[in-house]
Structure 1
Amino acid sequence: MTTQSEQTLENNLVAQLVEQGYERVIIADNDELLANLKCQLEKHNAEKLGDTPLSDAEFKRVVNHLDKGNVFDRAKLLRDKMHLVRDDGTSAYIEFINMAKWCHNEYQVAQQIVNDGEYSTRYDVTLLINGLPLVQIELKRRGIELKEAFNQINRYRRHSYASANGLFQYVQLFVISNGVDTKYYANSVSYGGTKKASFKQTFYWTDKANKRISQIDEFARDFLEKCHVSRMITKYIVLNETDKVLMVLRPYQYYAVERIIEKVDSGSNTGGYIWHTTGSGKTLTSFKAAQIMTENPAVDKVLFVVDRNDLDYQTIKEFNSFKEGSVDGTDNTQALVKQLSDPDTKLIVTTIQKLDNAIKRERHASAMESVRDNKIVFIFDECHRSQFGETHRNITEYFTNYQMFGFTGTPIKAENATFNSRFGKRTTADLFGACLHEYVITDAINDGNVLKFSVEYVGRFKQREDSKTNIDIDVEAIDTREAMEGDARVDKITDYIITNHDYKTHNRDFTAMMCVGSTDVLRKYYDAFAARSHNLKIATIFSYQANEEDKDADGMIDEVDIDMAGSAQINEHSRDVLERAMGDYNTMFGTNYTTRDSKSFYNYYKDIAKRVKSREIDILLVVNMFLTGFDSKTLNTLYVDKNLRYHGLLQAYSRTNRILNEVKSQGNIVVFRNLKKRTDEAVRLFSDKDASETIFLKSYETYVDEFDAQVTALLAYTPSLGDVDMLVGEEAKRHFVELFREVMRTRNVLLSFADFGYDDTAMTAQQFEDYKSKYLDLYFETKGDNAEKDSILNEVDFELELVRRDEINVDYILRLLARYVDADDTEKAKLHKQIDDLMSGDEKLRSKRELIEKFISGWLPDITDSEQVDVEFQKYWSAEEKRAIEQLASEEGLDTERLEKLIADYSYSGRKPRQDDYVRTLTQTPGIRERSSVIERIADKFTKFIRVFVDDV
């Protein structure tokens, strides 16, 4: 039986779309695309244009209007109307897509449109709406890795989308499929943009129950249905103003917003809550729901309510990134009351505390009375404990015409509800109504939207040697304050963290937090870290109010307010501890924060958040703060010496599981408490009873077995390094890449285990480095002079991020060379081999290998003082750089001073020269016929020079 070809897959899809109501249109090239656009725009705007079609001059003005800006700019033009002054002086407003009535558009499907840009490209299937290409579908035959289609689209965007009139920069959505797997994603970056497209931002479509729809025919029937795909474009793509990129909602976000809209449109006042697991993008979901509801004339106000002051700033920033200027921050209750009274302010972000003050305080009574009966939709972010008391009752009793919706990753159910003497036990459903949509942690992990957790339980108490028995006592059996908070235990845990931190964070590619049970214990840890020799950057923050002490240790994590008024009663002892820690922080980062000023403390909070995200802080010590509501993709490890339970436990663990890159394969949880039972309880409650295998990584031994099996497959295919060199044909090379990539992926997981060593595996460390070098050889083969040919290897995902673990650069090599000077002959041989292996295995150092080898053989033998290695290397490097510049200038007839300026400009801006910049460096201007080849040759040599002497030096 033969495999279905790519062409058959394509033809079947087009036939299905025609059956679904798309008009099939034959478009060969850009000229025919323009001709079709003219016809479709005339058809769509028939009422506006009357009986007079667009003249050639009028259509040219339309095309000129459309041919402006990048992908983001064109997305705005698509959603706006064009004021067209017609040839006879009359006006018409040309609509490019009907945003309000999304089904009222013209739909076509085309195959194999050829676009001649930098390289000639041919697109598989294109969906046109009103003549504009808005959805691009790239297909691969069954059995081919889906990412190959993704990589191919990236090449199309780079080489041809901006060509001619740039109409393909109007593409809003991409669809990639190999028949059995199908994903969609937004056109989130244009060629030359600062944001790189990531395969991790491609999504499967699902039904309402989160069941994946992956077969291409099912996907086309559901997602590519005419009204649905235009609804996704008009309603569910968000234009992120901060990053200037398009963002499309994932299916669970779409269904949640749809359910909220249905509730509001129904005319009832019943609400409900959305259960979407922590890290799944609730802010984007709530923003889109709020945005759509503000367009509803029946709704007077939409209030997005957060329950902590420290989230106010963060949420406003995120909302404004989706729509610039969409939110006015409410600095005080009076500002909130003014916004509520202003009919032009429809969307408000505020805190539940300010809302409560607006209702209760007498001085606001008159102003508030005017909005009391308005139709108000409340959206509560993370509807946790602060809505479960008197404040919630005040809101629901005051307003007469409201609907209330809550978002949570960890809802309060009967099992994890706490008893309140005034209100009893209340669940999320009691307060908000039924759950409208669920997307639990198992769903998110299966979809690749959050990471699994690797949970290790560390810590054993050993009885004294003079005891009658000499056995280890598991920490599960001990939970007394004296034992758990003793100095000896704190010292041992501190030593453990210092020893193993680099394993957990991939040599500090990531950061960590440590949570403890009280400020007293935090002080012990802070002092223990300070007393030891290490180069970890440790910081801390905690509320210096008396309620920070977690004495009952129920693990629920009370929400912590930062009191901007500075009126909270202060625990002087804990404040002194924090003031001292802030002093250390000021010394470390050159800041000037203090607890004596509440505004300064708030700024300290924001600065810590920023530095954790930017990896300037290695470990942040906390009690409660930052364990909820803080998102950092660069944080991958949580050390736990604190009793946690239910939603508090899962919220804390979830600080580590945000998706970032291939290196970050899981969130690491290192637990020094008896939390195994409570962890299992939380998993069961917030997913399902069989979820443990999904949420948590497998054992170390299991991954070793997987690694060995992958190594066996690799060595069976290429038993030696020479066998890699003997591979003939791109299919054979691609298979090697795929085999070694699986070895790398599993090794990446193993590196997070403190017990990992190559002695446990079927491959030595040297073998891995040797095969990694061959893997890199194949990568650079695709980046050579013939890189743009239609090559299979161009489509392979090389995942170079997995290769790098240590930050290997020229500075690192110089430190090894300094050791080389003082070493004996045996040690020199080892160091020389280590340096050689590093340079052959690291992509950044390969281009510098020849020069560094020349320094080792020609200069290093004459250096007797290791401290002079750096100085002599700088002299050598400068001389070689000057020689290379002179050689390039001589070979190509360039003005040396202008060439040096070109290099200096690149060093400053990172921007490669344009063609005209190269021409200006020539001492003689080439003829028109040879100009292109001369510039291409100079650009190639310039790039090689930059790679050697400028980049990563």
Structure 2
Amino acid sequence: MARTFIANFISEDQIEQAILGIFTGRLGYRHLNCLLADLTGRSMETEVVIEPLLRKKLIHLNPAAPEAAIDFAVDQLTKTRLDQTDFQANKELYFLMRDGVTTTIKNTRDRDEPVTIKVIDLVDESQNDYLVVSQLWLQGSYIRRRPDLIVFVNGLPLIFIELKNSTIALRNAYDDNLTNYRKDIPLLFHYNALCILSNGLETKVGSFNSGYNHFLNWLRVENEDEVPDKERIKDFAVSLDYAILGLCEKARLLDYFENFLLYYNDVKKIAAKNHQFLGVNNAARNFGARLKHDKENTDTGNKGKLGVFWHTQGSGKSYSMIFFARKVFRKFTGNYTFLIVTDRDDLDGQIYKNFVGAGAVSKTEKCRPQNSEELRELLQTNRRYIFTLIHKFRFPKGKAYPVLSTRNDIIVIVDEAHRTQYKDLAENMRTGLPNAQYMAFTGTPLLGSKKLTNDWFGENVSEYNFKQSIEDGATVPLFYHKRVPEVLLQNDDLDDDLAEIVSDENLSDADQQRLENEFGQEMAILKSDDRLETIAKDIVFHFPRRGYLGKGMVITFDKFTAVKMYDKVKRLWDEEKRAIQSQINSSITQKEKEALRKTLEWMRKADMAVIISEEAGEEEKFEKNGLDIRIHRKRMLTADDNGKDLEDKFKEPTDPLQLVFVCSMWLTGFDAETVSTLYIDKPMKDHTLMQTIARANRVTDFEINGKPKKNGLIVDYYNVFKNLREAFASYGGGKIGGGERPDEDAPVKEKDQLYVLLQDAIDQCDQYCKNIDINLKTITESEIIFGKLGMFDQFADIILANDDQKKQFIVYDNTIDALYQACLPEILGRRKDFPLVAVISYLRQIIDGKNQRNDLDSAKRRISQLLDESIVASDEFKNSKDTISEPSYNIKAWRQIDLSKLDVDKLKEEFKEAPYKHIEIADLRAFISNKLEQMMSKNITRTSFAQKLQQIIDRYNSGGSITEDYFNDLVDFVGQLKAEELRAAREGLSEKELEIFDLLKKENLTKEEDQKVKLAAKSLLHRLYEEKPTVLLQDWHKDLQSQLKVKLVIQDILDKNLPETYDKNVYDTKCNIVFNHLFVQAANGGRAVA
């Protein structure tokens, strides 16, 4: 496909114009520029749907529908949904837009007859209207917003596009724009299918309620074989070009809208990622081709083989499975049944839960047979989904397996069932379902010379490997760390049979005997008490001292070792807590005490558990090994008072369950996003090893102590290094090279590489600072080191001269901090190698205003703490109190200033003498922002002040004002805040009353009318909060009857008290505004409860 490459962008306007050229020139969209005038035909700015266009298209798509049916559909599509959350409204409207609006009409016999009004033609793309609107003003409850671009289909706003200047970090489009827009103009996102954020150099796509880490690139347009040159894309600033062509081409947009959006557990909207969209469509095309071959009786050699869907672990295969099934149901004629087959109870449960969560099946639906007889019965029905273990196809040896169903519309989806899919059970399944179609979804197909997976299921229909997923951001990078070498086994030539045998935790008697006969020596070493004690000590030291304190998994040799390791770690954990408490009590620095207290607090809260499968006679078996399984089994089988079992707890990021001990369970198909560390002490290879390490590669937006998850860590106690390299060569897109280290392009790198990445990030930050005349190394190289705080003030003043400079520096600091955290705890012994880390971090604190620079004692303490962290310090300096000089510049304690006592003129005079003007401005801005936030929390109509403040800032950043004018503008703005803060007293109103008064008043009121509006505000609040019967009950906003009572009270009070000049339209508008305000307050846990 030919591509339009866009020149390097400078401004948002240039990006916008170039992209509009693609929309109108390449894709055939209409365009309206509403910067100067609203050309959409809306009657009010509060409307997010272009109703005239919607009505026109509904009539066009439903020519036989009566006017009343069209009116009903328009009403259903445009009515506000204040009684719902944004997620609920988005979900309800999505199904209305996709499936149509159902109503009733009178037929020729004057009887009610159901009819569905089509909203979007999902078959013939030419029947719809495609419109891209730029700079459209939208009025929310309190504030106006103007998104850069909105894509409308038939007048419905399906895609939101936010653009930033190419010099601004893309994250700002999410934090500064999308987040605020969702809050200020939520109705726009009730219809939203997809959000696109771009600064030209980088573009990310996600759903409206996704966290930023779930916004991903879209760089493959037509097929997954495309290999995007990311450097070239960045150099030519064409990332948005790829996303628009890949998603907004009319047929693709309709396909994505219809088939690739999921609503999960009524809390999360899942939008398919680039690889899922392309992969599932490949699979659907192959399915269509298979149907054609079967009908024409061609390609008989592949009859029944739908292919292999090979996507790496953590990339969303289970969701891809749902996308595929849904597309088959919607796009292919037939009465299909999907039989989802696994070979483990826990994996079967995981997949079933995902289908239930996505709404594909209900919890009450019978779709999980308990035995072979039930399976046979279900296969005779027309159920859409059946979930089963392949063991349901077990049959006595020597007997012919019976035919269960001759249906040719059964689609068997096999998920990650390696050892059972090519032997007797698989043969029985195919004998029992001779006409079924078979497809494998896997991250680790069996390869080698036999290529068993392809032999049984057909050729690969889609491939997406481990390395690609990391590059795309679909999974986080993994790092490998070999620890405690003194207890490592020298097992480079480990017999593959050992890893194969212990991959199943429920060993047969024959396998158990074989282990003892053939691998007795290895097992004796592996399970020796001294060795396990050493590993347990290392885990207890390492686990609470990592940077990102995500959840962890200890993978052990067998069930007995899992319990034994739990007992050891639990005992040593308690000992470590006592040791830390002793350290806190000893004479160490305050900084060390604070760090130790945080570690101790985390350790006290942390819980751990054993997760192993149940088997007959297990109590006796464990007792023979001197272990008690009963207490662990009880925990595994028992839910808490909230109905949560151990699996729920481990998946919940905030639950104290932090560490689990497993041997096979939860290593396949288990998805807990905050798992970040794996401790492997078990022989593993090939697909089992790949499945295991993928537990730590999930992306999450959950931050812990303000730290994001940037990578996963594999801690290796068994030396699976050689097997890991080989597994990646097969499954991960890596290579096997010579020597002792993996190739540089290997998907998993040794942890030492983090130090290289950290130094590279430091060098880049250092160079950036040099480019703006800041030499960070002068601080560490100076004789007096941190003796002059003014040096930091000087550097901060330079960075704060421009918002873009500040944002870029923060990006560098965030990167450095994340890498430093990833290097913990080992980097604690190497801090002298990275002296600029502390310098950059301290400078960031000053920029953020976290330091009270007028406090000399605290400044001395901070510098001393930096020196304690081994930043090039001499003994002479450490012992000298006089070396730390007075800070050259004292910043005003803005947060302590009383606005009523502020002398504006004096501030302006003092600024002329200030040595670091940009710091002065930054502190003043921080004070204003904090003050304005407090004032807005009391009166939502003050959002206009926020807009005024932003205009002042934007004017300066664009070069429209000089530094002194900028400061004076800010000081004048403080004067306006001062007057606003005193307005309630001047008006004779409380703050609450003033807020309602501001919502009720309109322009050109006479003094008498003004007084009546004040009376209305007072009367309304008195009735709502003080009189009986109470109407603002707890959770009134969740109940339609309670909402109606509140509306009636508002209407009654305002009808009695508002001036006669408030005609019906104004009266209705004001009633709605006040109700919406109280509703939003109540929904957000605010003040709207009596």
TM-score, with structure 1 as normaliser:
0.70
Give the one of 415, 424, 447 matched to 1:381.
415
Do the aligned partners of 1:700 and 1:753 also contact (CA within 8 Å) in 2? no
- The correspondence for 2:534, drawn from 492, 505, 512, is 492
Between the aligned partners of 2:380 and 2:318, the Cα distance in structure 1 is: 25
Distance 1:358 1:179 in 2: 64
Q: Distance between the aligned counterparts of 1:676 and 1:457, measured in 2?
A: 8
Aligned mate of 2:760, from 700, 706, 714: 706
Say whether the 8 Å CA contact 2:72–2:103 is kept in structure 1. no
Deviates more, 1:242-251 or 1:719-728: 719-728
Bigger shift: residues 435-444 or 26-35: 26-35
Task: Note the C-alpha offset of 1:305.
Answer: 1.4
Is 1:688 the equivalent of 2:743? no
* Matched letter for residue 252 of structure 1: H
Partner of residue 310 from structure 2, selected from 267, 272, 275? 275
The answer to whether the aligner puts 1:98 opposite 2:137 as a matched pair is no
- 5+ long unaligned stretches in structure 2: 1-6, 44-48, 82-88, 294-302, 495-520, 577-603, 702-706, 736-742, 777-790, 851-921, 933-944, 955-989, 996-1017, 1063-1069
Q: Once the 2 structures are TM-superposed, how far is the Cα of residue 185 of structure 1 from its aligned partner?
A: 2.0
Residue 204 of structure 2: aligned partner: 183
Instruction: Tell me which residue corresponds to 1:339.
Output: 378
Q: Which amino acid is the alignment partner of residue 74 of structure 2?
A: V
CA pair 51-253 structure 1, distance change in 2 beyond 3 A: closer
User: Structure 1 residues 58, 204: closer, same or farther in 2, change over 3 A?
Assistant: closer
| Change in CA separation of 1:569 and 1:691 when aligned onto 2, cut-off 3 Å | farther
User: Could you tell me how far 1:14 is from its partner in structure 2?
Assistant: 1.9
- After TM superposition, give the deviation of residue 889 of structure 1 in Å: 10
Q: How much has 1:217 moved relative to structure 2?
A: 3.1
Residue 66 of structure 1: how far off its partner (Å): 2.8
Provide the C-alpha distance between the structure 1 equivalents of 2:952 and 2:565, rounded to a whole number of angstroms. Answer: 51
Q: Does 1:170 align with 2:191?
A: yes
Say how many residue pairs are matched: 775
- The residue aligned with 1:459 is 484
Say if 1:184 and 1:205, in contact at 8 Å, map to a contact too. no
1:135 counterpart SS class: strand
Are positions 1:322 and 2:322 aligned together? no
What residue is the counterpart of 2:284 in the other structure?
Answer: 261
Candidates 806, 815, 823, aligned match of 1:750 = 823
Quick one: which of 581, 584, 609 aligns to 1:539?
A: 609
Residue 764 of structure 1: how far off its partner (Å) = 6.8
Looking at structure 1, the residues matched to 730 and 42 of structure 2 have their Cα atoms a distance apart, in angstroms, of 55
Within 2, Cα distance between the matches of 1:396 and 1:94?
44
Q: What is the Cα deviation at residue 600 of structure 1?
A: 6.5
Give the match's secondary structure for 1:627. coil
CA displacement, residues 166-197 of structure 1 (integer Å, 9 cap, x when unaligned): 4663121222222333332223x3xxxxxx64
Does the C-alpha gap of structure 1 residues 601 and 331 become closer, same or farther in structure 2, counting only changes over 3 Å? farther
1:394 aligns with one of 423, 428, 451: 428
Instruction: Name the CA shift for 1:125/1:184 in 2 (closer, same or farther; >3 Å).
Output: same
Q: 1:435 & 1:771 partners in 2: Cα distance?
A: 50
Assess, with a 3 A threshold, how the Cα gap between structure 1 residues 793 and 336 changes in structure 2: closer, same or farther: farther
Would you say 1:79 and 2:65 are equivalent positions?
A: no
Q: Structure 1's 15 and 771: CA in aligned 2 closer, same or farther, altered over 3 A?
A: closer
Q: Give 1:132 shift.
A: 1.5
Give the conservation status (yes or no) of the 8 Å contact 1:441–1:695.
no
Aligned to 2:968: none
How far apart are the structure 2 equivalents of 1:514 and 1:688?
A: 26
List runs of 5+ in structure 1 lacking aligned partners. 190-195, 416-424, 463-471, 546-567, 587-591, 796-886, 948-953
| Alignment correspondent of 2:888 | none
Amino acid at match of 1:702: V
Q: Deviations over 1:282-338 (max 9, x none)?
A: 011011111222343245322121221222332222101112535643141333223
**Structure 2 residue matching 1:171: 3-state secondary structure:** coil
State whether residues 218 and 242 of structure 2, in contact with CA within 8 Å, keep that contact through their aligned partners in structure 1: no
Greater mean alpha carbon deviation, residues 441-450 or residues 479-488: 479-488
Q: Structure 1 residues 298 and 3, CA, compared in 2 at 3 Å: closer, same or farther?
A: closer
User: Which letter does structure 2 place at the counterpart of 1:303?
Assistant: L
What is the distance in 2 between the residues matched to 1:477 and 1:390? 31
Q: Which residue of 2 aligns with 1:608?
A: 646
CA distance in 1, matches of 2:396, 2:639: 26
Name the counterpart of 1:211.
Answer: 227
Q: In the TM superposition, what are the counterparts of 1:535-934 in structure 2 within 5 Å?
A: 535=604, 537-543=607-613, 545=615, 568=616, 570=618, 572-574=620-622, 580-583=628-631, 592-593=634-635, 607-614=645-652, 615-661=655-701, 663-686=708-731, 687-689=733-735, 690=743, 692-696=745-749, 698-706=752-760, 708-709=762-763, 712-713=766-767, 720-723=791-794, 724=796, 727-751=800-824, 753=826, 755=828, 758-763=831-836, 768=841, 771-772=844-845, 774-775=847-848, 785=932, 791=950
In the alignment, is the contact (CA less than 8 A) between 2:489 and 2:526 conserved in 1?
Answer: no
In structure 1, C-alpha distance between the alignment counterparts of 2:793 and 2:75, rounded to whole Å: 57
CA contact (8 A) 1:112 1:124 kept: yes
SS at match of 1:450: coil
Matched residue, 1:292: 327
Describe how 1:243-262 pairs up with structure 2 within 5 A: 243-262=266-285
Deviation at 1:227, TM superposition (A): 1.2
Q: Structure 1 residue 230: deviation in Å?
A: 1.4
Distance 1:413 1:484, change over 3 A: same
Which residue of the partner structure matches residue 161 of structure 1? Answer: 185
1:6 to 12, 35, 49: 12
Correspondence for 2:143: 119
Change (3 A) 1:577 1:621: farther
Root-mean-square deviation over aligned CA pairs: 4.9
Offset of residue 413 of structure 1: 0.7
Asked if 1:66 corresponds to 2:78, the answer is yes
Q: 1:348 to 1:790 in 2, by over 3 A?
A: farther
Contact 2:700 2:709 in 1 (8 A): yes
- Contact 2:347–2:669 under 8 Å retained in 1: yes
* Contact 1:40–1:130 (Cα < 8 Å) also in 2: yes
Asked if structure 2 preserves the Cα contact closer than 8 Å seen for 1:66 and 1:74, the reply is no
The answer to whether the 8 Å contact 2:58/2:70 transfers is no
Q: Aligned with 1:573: secondary structure?
A: helix
Residue type at the aligned position of 1:177: S
Go from structure 1 to structure 2 and tell me whether the alpha carbon gap of 1:395 and 1:2 turns closer, same or farther (over 3 Å shift).
Answer: closer
Identify if the C-alpha distance between structure 1 residues 752 and 387 changes in structure 2 by more than 3 Å, giving closer, same or farther. farther
Residue among 431, 437, 440 paired with 1:403:
437
TM-aligned CA deviation for residue 766 of structure 1: 8.5
Residue 413 (str. 1) matches residue 447 (str. 2): yes
TM-score computed with the length of structure 2 as normaliser: 0.62
Aligned-residue identity in percent: 21
Change beyond 3 A, Cα 1:274–1:61? closer
CA contact (8 A) 1:273 1:435 kept: yes
| Contact 2:150–2:161 (Cα < 8 Å) also in 1 | yes
**Secondary structure, in 3 states, of the residue corresponding to 2:128?**
coil
Cα 1:168–1:476 change in 2 (3 A) is: closer
Distance 1:137 1:258, change over 3 A: same
- Counterpart code for 2:834: T
1:502 matched to 2:534: no
Contact 1:302/1:379, CA 8 A, preserved across alignment: yes
Which letter maps to 1:315? I
Contact 1:126 1:136 in 2 (8 A): yes
Counterpart contact for 2:680–2:714, Cα < 8 Å: yes
Please point out which of 302, 310, 315 is paired with 2:338.
Answer: 302
